Structure 1
Amino acid sequence: MARQTKRVSSRKVKRKVPKGVVHIQATYNNTIITITDLQGEVLSWSSSGSCGFKGRKKRTPFASQTAAESAIRRSMDQGLRQAEIMMSGPGPGRDMALRAIKTSGLGVSLVRDVTPVPHNGCRPPKKRRL
């Protein structure tokens, strides 16, 4: 009995996406930039760590600028021209990433801060007694 195997194409399909969403997640230790289309499917992503920065250098504004330029370059190859920007987190690289996106030639239609803010959140821990 001969077993038939399926042939699966492993080539990525380049699609033309004129409008998308840039998600910037800036933590204290790293900056992650993800570019999606309007349905939420990822077109490209980059982070300070994936650009070759290690340790304390990942948190610098220059590292986040490099990550933003890398992600934008890859998504503009897929036809991205206009984008909305969603920023999240308190990290030091968020402003520099935004500046890098604006100077890259990508049209920015909206900048929104989507950092989660607690509405009185969790109960704080007990006071320390010494």
Structure 2
Amino acid sequence: MAAPTAAELLADENAGKKIVKAKGAKNIAVGVAHILSTFNNTNVSITDMQGNVIGWSSAGRVGFKGSRKSTAFAAQQVAQDAARQAMSHGLREVEIRVSGPGSGRESAIRALQAIGLEISTIKDVTPVPHNGCRPRKKRRV
């Protein structure tokens, strides 16, 4: 028997959790998922096409503290939490914009896909300087 995929594992984990329509639900079908993954944290905020926030989450809000906030697993939990909030407003399709150099970029995208959102496009919008500020010193480990 082959090892279970990430989607199957998430399906088993989320079997008891149903997505219920929110009270002030707006019924938004298409939105944008903004994933900011820094070295220390991961933030996911889902907006409608105009930029109004439908749902958001961060590693600290989900319950991680300290260095655990920077893990890929924390990013996965953050993406699931934000997606559940957005799906309660009727969100089905999402455009993903990823920014930052963190470890949670890919796992957040996979979690959004596994929870049942249809992904239309994935864009990397990390700001790159045209030789602006001096970067921090290189680590010597």
What is the TM-score with the length of structure 1 in the denominator?
A: 0.83
For residue 66 of structure 1, the aligned residue among 69, 77, 80 is 77
In structure 1, the gaps of 5 or more residues are 1-11, 125-130
Q: SS of the counterpart of 2:63?
A: coil
Which residue number in structure 2 is paired with residue 53 of structure 1?
Answer: 64
d(CA) in 2 for partners of 1:82, 1:37: 10
d(CA) in 2 for partners of 1:28, 1:64: 12
1:102 aligns with 2:113: yes
d(CA) in 1 for partners of 2:121, 2:106: 15
For residue 16 of structure 1, the aligned residue among 24, 27, 32 is 27
- Per-residue CA distance 1:55-114 (angstroms, 9 max, x = gap): 010000000100100110111111000110000000011111011011111010000000
Paired AA for residue 69 in structure 1: Q
Which residue number in structure 1 is paired with residue 54 of structure 2?
Answer: 43
- Per-residue CA distance 1:34-64 (angstroms, 9 max, x = gap): 0000000000000111000000100000001
d(CA) in 1 for partners of 2:59, 2:103: 12
In structure 2, the gaps of 5 or more residues are 1-22, 136-141
Deviation larger for 115-124 or 21-30:
115-124
Structure in which a larger fraction of residues adopt helix: 2
Paired AA for residue 78 in structure 2: A
d(CA) in 2 for partners of 1:44, 1:83: 13
CA-CA distance at 1:123 after TM superposition: 6.0
What is the TM-score with the length of structure 2 in the denominator?
A: 0.77
d(CA) in 1 for partners of 2:48, 2:31: 4
The number of residues matched between the two structures is: 114
Say whether the 8 Å CA contact 2:25–2:90 is kept in structure 1: no
Say whether the 8 Å CA contact 2:33–2:95 is kept in structure 1: yes
